[in-house]
């Protein structure tokens, strides 16, 4: 076998392998350029097999074999179309170049078939196509640097130079077979590698895009689920508030119809009696009736005040700030001590942390709880109240408690304590049953909760939670200094104990 035959055989092998690889890529990824290039290399492989079989013309002045010309021209057209698609040339430009390639190939084959086109002219056509591929590869090199397009440009330009040298008579025409196989193999391997890298990059981008979409969908589902849960919680909270409001309105109606109508009816009846006594000239009886009217009016006024206080606890705008709860409790204890100077009671106030709350509403909470503790422990030999707090280790809500040694209440009645106008002890103690309801509304408006525990005759303990505030060392030092001065000025009190 001659060197020419060995070169043609190696060309047939390399072109056949490239054809198989490109067809495999097309069957897996379905890019159009892989199919076009695979068919182009298949046509070249058949051409080289025909050369090995002896269907070949050496002289440049002779007319090429028609079969060889058809295969070569078909390979040129298919390779041009594949290169345009692989490089991503615009559709309009690619259509025009493909039309020119098909027209040139058809005209050349017609000339070969009619015996007008020699091998020299065919090589010129070949050179034009190869030069166009080199220009297209250079453009692709600018778009995709460091992807091997530069080697393709050099290989194609070297083949064009070899064609020019053969046409000038500087080289043997037999060398064109090797010169034909080498650049085509370089072109095929580069396009195959570049295409696979591009496909891998696109697959990675598509995977990242899919992951982003999946993550976005999961986030959207999570937000939707959270919104649904929040909506359910909001609806449940609003329903509970509505039920509580309805229960409060029902209690309010009962109070208006009973507790308030009774005193007003009594006032009207006693007023008629007083008028009769005045008409009869009995001033002593009339004055007694007028005193009864005054007492009934004062009771009604207190009831209206309690109703207004309950309304304000729900409607007042929260002015949340860091409150020194210990100083606030000491002020409340001091005011209660002065309000009942004849009563003997002791109140132990433990160290209390600052909280984030509305100071006026929080004052009302402690006034009601400590006031209730004093009221319901007044019958004991020595009333004793404790006020303390526990700050959770995780920095969560602070739990306050107010404990007394009063009459307490039955455990079964714990849920009724915080309902409006509920008086568990009947008329044994004064009041209208709204104090604890006010406490509950204020605490819940601050985002906390309130509950109680007690045994009949064994005292009661009321708990409520609030969010912690910010410690201010300067304010705490000033508060401690003022408290010590107060103790020195009031020798009858002890540390954390208020007694009168």
List for the chain the helix, strand, coil content (%; round to 5): 70, 10, 20
Percent of the chain exceeding pLDDT 70 equals 75
The answer to whether residue 337 scores a pLDDT higher than 70 is: yes
- The 10 Å Cβ neighbour count of residue 118 is 18
In this prediction, residue 491 carries a pLDDT of 35
Weakest mean pLDDT among 99-108, 145-154, 418-427: 418-427
Question: What is residue 454's three-state secondary structure?
Answer: strand
Question: What is residue 489's three-state secondary structure?
Answer: helix
Q: Which of 455, 474, 452, 471 is nearest to 463 (CA)?
A: 452
- What mean pLDDT is predicted for residues 65-85? 92
The answer to whether residue 466 scores a pLDDT higher than 50 is: yes
pTM of the model: 0.46
Percent of the chain exceeding pLDDT 90 equals 17
- What mean pLDDT is predicted for residues 99-105? 94
The answer to whether residue 35 scores a pLDDT higher than 80 is: yes
Domain layout of the chain by residue ranges: 3-213, 249-314, 319-499
Report the chain's mean pLDDT, rounded to a whole number. Answer: 78
Q: Which residues contact 194 (CB under 8 A, 6 or more apart)?
A: 86, 144, 147, 148, 149
Per-residue model confidence as pLDDT tens digits over 285-325: 778 777 777 766 766 666 666 566 655 555 557 788 899 99
Torsion region of 401: left, alpha or beta (phi above 0 gives left; psi -120 to 50 gives alpha): beta
Per-residue model confidence as pLDDT tens digits over 193-226: 877 777 777 778 888 888 888 888 888 888 888 8
The answer to whether residue 498 scores a pLDDT higher than 50 is: no
CA–CA dist 341, 309 (Å, integer): 25
In this prediction, residue 421 carries a pLDDT of 55
Specify whether domain 3-213 bears CATH 1.20.1070.
yes
In this prediction, residue 483 carries a pLDDT of 40
Q: In CATH, what class is 319-499?
A: alpha beta
CA–CA dist 28, 427 (Å, integer): 91
Helix (DSSP H) and strand (DSSP E) numbers for the chain: 13, 8
In this prediction, residue 70 carries a pLDDT of 93
In this prediction, residue 343 carries a pLDDT of 61
Q: Are 124 and 168 in contact (CB under 8 A)?
A: no
Q: Which two tokens stand for residue 105?
A: 């190939």
Q: In the sheet that 384-391 helps form, which strands lie side by side, from edge to edge?
A: 450-454, 460-466, 398-404, 384-391, 346-349, 497-499
Residue 258 DSSP label: I
Per-residue model confidence as pLDDT tens digits over 338-381: 766 556 778 899 999 999 988 888 888 898 898 888 888 877 87
């Amino acid at each position: 076998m001659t060197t020419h035959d060995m070169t043609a055989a190696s060309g047939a092998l390399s072109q056949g392998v490239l054809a198989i690889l490109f067809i495999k890529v097309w069957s897996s990824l379905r890019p159009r350029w892989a199919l076009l290039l695979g068919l182009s290399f298949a046509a070249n492989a058949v051409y080289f097999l025909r050369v090995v079989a002896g269907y070949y013309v050496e002289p440049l002045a002779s007319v090429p074999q028609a079969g060889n010309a058809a295969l070569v021209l078909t390979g040129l057209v298919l390779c041009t179309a594949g290169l345009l698609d692989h490089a991503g040339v615009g559709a309009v430009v690619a259509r025009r170049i493909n039309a020119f390639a098909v027209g040139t190939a058809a005209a050349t084959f017609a000339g070969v078939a009619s015996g007008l086109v020699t091998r020299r002219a065919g090589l010129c056509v070949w050179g034009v196509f190869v030069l166009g591929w080199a220009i297209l590869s250079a453009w692709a090199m600018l778009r995709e640097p460091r992807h091997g397009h530069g080697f393709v440009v050099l290989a194609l330009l070297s083949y064009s130079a070899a064609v020019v040298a053969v046409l000038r008579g500087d080289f043997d025409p037999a060398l064109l077979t090797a010169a034909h196989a080498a650049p085509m193999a370089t072109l095929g391997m580069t396009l195959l590698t570049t295409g696979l890298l591009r496909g891998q990059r696109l697959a990675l981008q598509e995977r990242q895009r899919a992951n982003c979409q999946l993550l976005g969908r999961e986030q959207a589902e999570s937000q939707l689920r959270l919104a649904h849960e929040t909506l359910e919680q909001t609806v449940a909270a609003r329903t509970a508030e509505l039920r509580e409001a309805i229960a409060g309105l029902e209690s309010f109606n009962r109070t208006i119809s009973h507790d308030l109508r009774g005193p007003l009816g009594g006032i009207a009846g006693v007023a008629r009696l007083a008028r009769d006594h005045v008409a009869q000239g009995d001033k002593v009886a009339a004055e007694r009736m007028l005193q009864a009217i005054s007492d009934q009016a004062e009771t009604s006024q207190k009831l209206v005040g309690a109703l207004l206080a309950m309304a304000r606890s729900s409607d007042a705008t929260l002015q949340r700030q860091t409150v020194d709860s210990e100083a606030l409790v000491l002020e409340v204890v001091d005011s209660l001590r002065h309000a009942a100077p004849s009563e003997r009671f002791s109140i132990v106030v433990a160290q209390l942390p600052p909280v984030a709350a509305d100071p006026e509403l929080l004052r009302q909470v402690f006034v009601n709880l400590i006031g209730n503790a004093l009221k319901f422990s007044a019958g004991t030999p020595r009333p004793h109240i404790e006020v303390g707090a526990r700050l959770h280790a995780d920095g969560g809500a602070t739990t306050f408690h107010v404990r007394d040694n009063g009459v307490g209440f039955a455990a079964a009645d714990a849920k009724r304590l915080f309902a409006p106008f509920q008086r568990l002890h009947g008329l044994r103690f004064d009041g209208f049953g709204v104090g604890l309801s006010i406490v509950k509304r204020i605490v819940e408006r601050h985002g906390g909760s309130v509950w109680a525990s007690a045994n009949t005759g064994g005292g009661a303990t009321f708990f409520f939670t609030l969010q912690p505030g910010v410690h201010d060392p300067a304010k705490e030092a000033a508060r401690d200094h003022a408290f010590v001065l107060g103790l020195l000025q009031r020798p009858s009190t002890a540390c954390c104990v208020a007694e009168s």
